[in-house]
Amino acid sequence: MGVHRNFILLLTVTLTFVTCNVSNSKIEDACNLSAELKAEIASYSSTVEKIINAAVDGSFKGVTYQELSLFVDTFGNRIAGSQNLENAIDYMIDKYTADGFDNVHGEEVQVPHWVRGSESAILVEPRNATLSILGLGTSVGTPPEGILAEVLVVKSFDDLQSKAGQAKGKIVVYNEDFDSYFSAVVYRSNGATEAAKVGAVASLIRSMTDFSLNTPHTGLQSYEENVTKIPGAAITIEDAHLLQRLQDEGKTIKMLLKMEAQNLPDTTSRNLVAEIEGTEYPEKVVIVSGHIDSWDVGEGAMDDGGGVFISWGALALLKSLGLKAKRTVRSIFWTAEEFGYVGAYQYAIDHANETDNLIFMMESDFGTFNPIGLEYSAGTTGGCILQEVMKLLASINATGTRQSPAVGSDIEIWTSDGVPGASLDTESEKYFWYHHSNADTLEAESTDYLDKNTALWASVAYVLADLSIDFPRETTDG
């Protein structure tokens, strides 16, 4: 779809951080929406209030949390390649089908099948200590007896280059700064490869988070062709700092790293599609989405159970209120997002000739905390329309809009090619506390926030799917 996959692999969620400095007021100044269109949008206020009331204080109150809870309690985490993921997809297909949604089906995708196995990192010098680690997705394992080697701590790739002469035969530990996920995640993606290039035997990164209670965080890494594949794992902030201090104190550091990680043959998974068909233009589609796979730790309740269940909730809430829009509202649960938008890429290929009918694409993959509004990728007129639409969310204080060159994670495949779209914008300051860790459980979710997010998701999807005009597809001009 015009965006190089490796580039996308690197970016995943991160691009949501790179927002343009286009203030709302500046956009508003540039807005030349017709009085008729503004009035038309405003006329949805009673419908949106009905949606909001049902979600936050009525028949749908608490339902999103309750269903998410039942789902994660039943299946736990759901890594690509696992039977657990397929069971979870079957469950959701059955659920959508039983509730009478339109066009409910799975669409097959070949996905990676990486298994962690058991893993450990024991500090053996200068003193004995067990470090908490999580191997990184796609990492190879160690030999069964493990890798016993000296440790070299570096602060950056530049620092690694300056110490390249010392790296041979060592376990390189990246104690990189976490100024942002975007700036740090290259160490997770490429750390093992860069370490291997200078002769290291394994690579450990400091986990991608700004706060830890001895919490390691996994995530995707990749290998470069023709470079030796060495094991890659994440250690905690605490241990990265410890190793840095020990090195700074001049101590010799030795570690025994054992990882059973294996890359098995690809397996078949499915993207899951369900719809409320449009009454007038069923071929035209507004999409609400999240990804149903997770990492193999915690419960995948935040990443991305929340995104999946507000997308389910948006459809279920609209249906419960008898709201059918002129255009189709489609929910998609992407599969294997965590391995680089694998499901979404397949969907893009399989539906390449339907792109013109993708009116607006929404994805929630940055947490379902207290909602602020939307982060969007659209042109000026589109931004103006969204501003008007979001005014309808005033009663839940989620009227914000901010333009971004890249939104969502899976939907970035389309938005980067000019399809308008948006990701959910929430008070996500603690997102990385939980992200890709065993702490990603239902505790990261709140019933009230989920209700508000379901209301927002349903409202925006309904209004954009029902407007008299198609959402304008313009070049992003922010």
Residues near its own copies (CB under 8 A): 69-70, 73-76, 126-129, 132, 212-215, 237-238, 241-242, 245-246, 249, 298-299, 433-434, 437-439, 441-443
- Minimum CB separation of residue 323 from its own copies in Å reads 31
Q: DSSP assignment, residue 115?
A: E
Nearer to its own copies by Cβ, of 65 and 339: the residue is 65
d(CA 157, CA 154): 8
- Minimum CB separation of residue 438 from its own copies in Å reads 4
| CB atoms near residue 161 (< 10 Å) | 14
- Minimum CB separation of residue 443 from its own copies in Å reads 5
Nearer to its own copies by Cβ, of 168 and 245: the residue is 245
**Among 303, 332, 301, 321, CA closest to 67:** 301
- Minimum CB separation of residue 63 from its own copies in Å reads 16
The residues, any chain, with a CB within 8 Å of residue 132's CB and separated by 6 or more, are 214, 215, 216, 235, 236, 239
86 is catalytic: no
- Minimum CB separation of residue 211 from its own copies in Å reads 8
C-beta of residue 274 within 8 angstroms of C-beta of residue 96? yes
Nearer to its own copies by Cβ, of 10 and 442: the residue is 442
Nearer to its own copies by Cβ, of 69 and 142: the residue is 69
Nearer to its own copies by Cβ, of 183 and 214: the residue is 214
d(CA 104, CA 278): 15
- Between strands 119-125 and 254-259, the pairing is antiparallel
Vertex 413, ends 408 and 418: CA angle to 5°? 95
d(CA 336, CA 338): 5
Helices 447-466 + 380-391 axis angle, to 10: 130
Long-range contacts of 86-91 (CB under 8 A, 24+ apart): 86/269, 86/270, 88/292, 89/269, 89/270, 89/272, 89/292, 89/333, 89/335
Phi and psi at residue 450, to the nearest 5°: -60, -40
- Minimum CB separation of residue 55 from its own copies in Å reads 22
The residues, any chain, with a CB within 8 Å of residue 202's CB and separated by 6 or more, are 142, 147, 149, 171, 172, 192, 195, 230, 231, 232, 233, 257
- Minimum CB separation of residue 70 from its own copies in Å reads 7
Nearer to its own copies by Cβ, of 89 and 461: the residue is 89
Q: Which residues of 163-200 are buried (b: 16+ CB within 10 A; e: fewer)?
A: beebbeebbbbbbbebeebbebbbbbbbbbbbbbbbbb
State the burial class of residue 446 (Cβ atoms within 10 Å of its Cβ: 0-12, 13-18, 19+): middle
Catalytic residue among 176, 337, 363, 388: 337
- Minimum CB separation of residue 73 from its own copies in Å reads 6
Nearer to its own copies by Cβ, of 134 and 342: the residue is 134
Nearer to its own copies by Cβ, of 237 and 359: the residue is 237
Residues marked active site are found at: 337
